[in-house]
Structure 1
Amino acid sequence: MPYNNPFIYSDDNKRYHTWNYYLKHHFHQKVCKVPLNANFSCPNRDGTCGVGGCTFCGSLGSGEFAGDIHKDLMQQFEDGKAMMHRKWPNAGLIAYFQAYTNTYAPLHVLKDTFDPFVERDDILAISIATRADCLEDDTIAYLQSLTKKKEIWVELGLQSVHDETAKRVNRGHTYAQFVSCIKKLAKTDIKIAVHLINSLPYETKDEMLESADRIAHLPIHAVKIHMLHIMENTKMAKEYEQHPFPVLSKEEYIDIVISQLELLPKEMIIQRLTGDGVKEHLITPEWTLKKVVVLNDIDKEMVRRDTWQGKRYR
């Protein structure tokens, strides 16, 4: 632990429990995610619970950096593996099913999708991005069976604990449904990560902090936090053009993120504090493109405040 850093889960200047720290200490090596696009759909697009998807979500279902949909999954993985190994030749790999809702299919389709990756010796873990309303009991039982061979992560997009916000962005499920899913997953060996988005339309700082505070007291393992990106060709972009709503500045975002980190237990892994938006399609905020600057400024401000993850966790 670095001198003068009061946070115990750190090998560097970070005052929060980074994903890299977890991977390094759990797998004892450098580990990289290889993002994949398995060509699933979403119940919020096909009419099951809504149409058009979440208003912030683009045509690629948050998979802008996932694999090439025109290639099969194994070729996508091989391409991603080659790219990662050019930078980190000995890195371990996580197969990351990123785009759309990756449990929204019949069980036999899920087995055909995930089983080949579970059997590969060069894959350390499987990470599956999905929704709380797309994890039936038989799917959870199947994913639990996979934990006997690999570490299995389920990443649940929540974005906000506030149902009014969920309606506003056409999320398609309630916070109560999310909590019900978490309780089921908590009875398994599946690792749980939850996504939060700051600066959703008309949410206040107190509401964003409430999202973090509620998440802090659920049986989950990790959280991803990132700033809202308003992207071209989304419903939110049209709304923003017609009726602009406040969007956080970098300084406001940093202030809120640090306050959220203070509320989260120190054991909870922080998989992300910034997100990616394709530069050519990002309408606002442009400051999110400078990810390293944002992360460095978070670190500096935490030192200045003499604070750390979990400082206000109760």
Structure 2
Amino acid sequence: MDMTRYVNTFGRYLRTKYGEKVHKISVDASFTCPNRDGTKGIGGCTFCNNDSFSPLTTKAGSISKQIEEAKERVTERTGARKFIAYFQSYSNTYGEVDDLRRYYDEALSDPDVIVLAVGTRPDCVPDPVLELLAGYQQNGYEVWLELGLQSSFDDSLIAINRGHGFAEYEDAIDRARTFGLKLCTHLIMGLPGEKPTDTLITFDRVVALGVDAVKIHPLHFVKGIQLARQWKSGAVSELTLEQYTEVLSEILTRAPASLLFHRLTGSGDHQYLMGPEWVKHKWDVLGHLYRKLEAKAAAA
């Protein structure tokens, strides 16, 4: 199965650009979010349990220590010797610029870290932060700003306690573009109140704004989140493998050739996962998707 026949994958892009495998390692700088600390709300997004996203992140110790320990694990497992420092948990631009600079500088002080990726929210990227990130890019690092959008439908964003609307995302994209930053948008298929095909609409809106990459994964339910309680009570329906791969195959078919896909599926750590069961099996999901892409290509 060669997914790169049909998908412009981030992994292939990195290998082509750098001539070797470049592996992403998660960094935890103990950030929070404005819809957790009371600025906009409390409790966070109803789908969010960050421990399930990056369970192997070494939360104790300095950023340098986290990176060093992660490098040892990853090199032993994959052989990779160059790395992306991925500030993943919560909103990693939500702080004072001087503090952010200190965190990012520490990550990039490792000579094996050649890419900086920063995950955050559209309402947490003021111009001084964008200018800071652009400065690293001007100094020769590759920088990715990853914006969690999840959906372009404001009703859906309200339902998941997101704390911002699509307008804030549009504004963030417009301003980040003026700084020349590489932009990746996160999308979730199967949110409450949405049909799977609604993700096609969100995808088209995002692409029209000129992003460089997207991450897509199915809604799944992990321990400790509000959506899991709604799912157990029957208030939220479960996305099927067939629904997910059918819509995702359509997204991939209509995607611009230049658009990168950083992720095509995801389930978080299995010790937290409650459902759907099929999301645990990444290679089965990708195999199902691949067969749909082959069928579409044959019918074209």
Q: Does TM-score exceed 0.5, indicating one fold?
A: yes
2:23–2:80 contact (8 Å) kept in structure 1: no
Match of 2:268 in 1: 277
Distance of 2:202 and 2:138 partners within structure 1 = 33
Letter of the 2:201 partner, please give it: E
The 5 Å alignment of 1:259-298 reads: 259-298=250-289
Distance of 2:217 and 2:197 partners within structure 1 = 16
2:156–2:194 contact (8 Å) kept in structure 1: yes
Structure 1 gaps of 5+ residues are: 3-10
Match of 2:193 in 1: 202
1:40–1:99 contact (8 Å) kept in structure 2: yes
Distance of 2:298 and 2:70 partners within structure 1 = 37
The alignment's C-alpha RMSD in Å is 1.9
Tell me, yes or no, if structure 1 residue 42 matches structure 2 residue 33.
Answer: yes
Distance change >3 Å, CA 217–CA 211, structure 1 → 2: same
1:66–1:99 contact (8 Å) kept in structure 2: no
Moved more, 175-184 or 25-34: 25-34
Q: SS at 1:141's partner residue?
A: helix
Match of 1:226 in 2: 217
**TM-score, normalization: structure 1?**
0.90
Letter of the 2:125 partner, please give it: L
Report the CA distance between 1:66 and its aligned residue: 5.0
Tell me the alpha carbon deviations over residues 184-238 of structure 1, each in whole angstroms, 9 at most, x when there is no partner.
1111232110000001112013311101111121121110000111111111112
2:215–2:264 contact (8 Å) kept in structure 1: yes
Distance of 1:205 and 1:307 partners within structure 2 = 24
Distance of 2:165 and 2:263 partners within structure 1 = 24
Distance of 1:37 and 1:77 partners within structure 2 = 10
Report the CA distance between 1:12 and its aligned residue: 6.1
Distance of 1:144 and 1:217 partners within structure 2 = 23
2:191–2:219 contact (8 Å) kept in structure 1: yes
Q: SS at 1:57's partner residue?
A: coil
Determine which of 143, 152, 161 is the counterpart of 2:143.
152
Q: Runs of 4+ in structure 1 displaced over 4 angstroms?
A: none
Distance change >3 Å, CA 151–CA 17, structure 1 → 2: same
Report the CA distance between 1:13 and its aligned residue: 5.2
1:66–1:98 contact (8 Å) kept in structure 2: no
Report the CA distance between 1:148 and its aligned residue: 1.8
Distance change >3 Å, CA 207–CA 82, structure 1 → 2: same
Tell me the alpha carbon deviations over residues 128-167 of structure 1, each in whole angstroms, 9 at most, x when there is no partner.
1101100111111111111122111111000000000000
The 5 Å alignment of 1:43-192 reads: 43-58=34-49, 60=51, 63-65=53-55, 67-149=57-139, 150-192=141-183
Distance of 1:65 and 1:218 partners within structure 2 = 33
Match of 1:18 in 2: 9
Number of aligned residues: 299
Distance of 2:267 and 2:196 partners within structure 1 = 22
Report the CA distance between 1:264 and its aligned residue: 2.0
**TM-score, normalization: structure 2?**
0.94
2:153–2:202 contact (8 Å) kept in structure 1: yes
Moved more, 118-127 or 221-230: 118-127
Report the CA distance between 1:306 and its aligned residue: 1.1
2:245–2:288 contact (8 Å) kept in structure 1: yes
Letter of the 1:112 partner, please give it: R
Provide the identity percentage: 32
Distance of 1:303 and 1:169 partners within structure 2 = 35
Going by fraction, where is helix more abundant, 1 or 2? Answer: 2
Tell me the alpha carbon deviations over residues 68-90 of structure 1, each in whole angstroms, 9 at most, x when there is no partner.
21222111101110111113335
Report the CA distance between 1:299 and its aligned residue: 1.0
Tell me, yes or no, if structure 1 residue 258 matches structure 2 residue 238.
Answer: no
